[in-house]
Amino acid sequence: MNDSGDNKGTGRRFDASIIRTEMKNSDVKIRSGRTRQKSYRAVRKGLLTLHTLELMAVNIYKYQVTGSDDELNRQLISAMCNEMTHMQDFQVKLYEYGWKPSRFRWAYWMAGFVIGRVSRIFGGKAILKTGIWIETKAVNHYAELLDTVNWDEGTRGIIEKNQFDEYGHIDQWKRQLDSAGMN
């Protein structure tokens, strides 16, 4: 995950080795009232979806960490940190638009807990395959939301960067599976 590259044709360049992007005070904008009524619902629904799914991803990685002194745990912690950043990105956007996170986010928290714990019980191969599965779902969800929602430029850029990170996680987990001969 140390390479830079074009995020699957968007023309933007991202560095996958950066797990927490810099954010300045001036980056926070009040966006409420800027969204046309027609796209208002789609933007809100998209941000709520992204926020709750990232919350689930954080918990999956959090509850996969075993505490062992090994490379897989280091990578799980790094991925968890990256997903926490994504969750914060979408929480900030929700508040910028004058919205709040979903009241039902606890269900995604629980789903992440269960998926993380169950995959941990089954060991390293299950952890890596779960990571590939969940990140592939995330990449597809990001693509669908990028194609169907009329995002403002700043929010679109964050979504594209986060999608790029998810591609990086897929590649990372696949490489680890291949190098350990676990596939």
pLDDT of residue 4: 45
The C-alpha atoms of residue 95 and residue 107 are separated, in whole angstroms, by 21
Query: Phi/psi class of residue 23: alpha, beta or left (left: φ > 0; alpha: ψ in -120 to 50)?
Result: beta
pLDDT of residue 8: 57
* Stated pTM of the model: 0.90
Each residue's pLDDT tens digit, 70-103: 999 999 999 999 999 999 999 999 999 999 999 9
pLDDT of residue 2: 40
pLDDT of residue 36: 60
Write the CB contacts of 127 (distance below 8 Å, at least 6 apart in sequence). Answer: 64, 72, 76, 119, 120
Average pLDDT value for the chain: 91
For domain 37-179, give the CATH superfamily: Ferritin, core subunit, four-helix bundle (1.20.1260.10)
The C-alpha atoms of residue 111 and residue 176 are separated, in whole angstroms, by 25
Give yes or no for residue 62 having a pLDDT over 60: yes
Give yes or no for residue 110 having a pLDDT over 60: yes
Each residue's pLDDT tens digit, 125-181: 999 999 999 999 999 999 999 999 999 999 999 999 999 999 999 999 999 999 987
52, 46 contact by CB (below 8 A): no
Give yes or no for residue 37 having a pLDDT over 70: no
Give yes or no for residue 106 having a pLDDT over 90: yes
- Token pair, residue 75, equals 């990578």
Spell out where 13-110 has E strands: 13-15
Q: Of all residues in the chain, what percent carry a pLDDT higher than 70?
A: 90
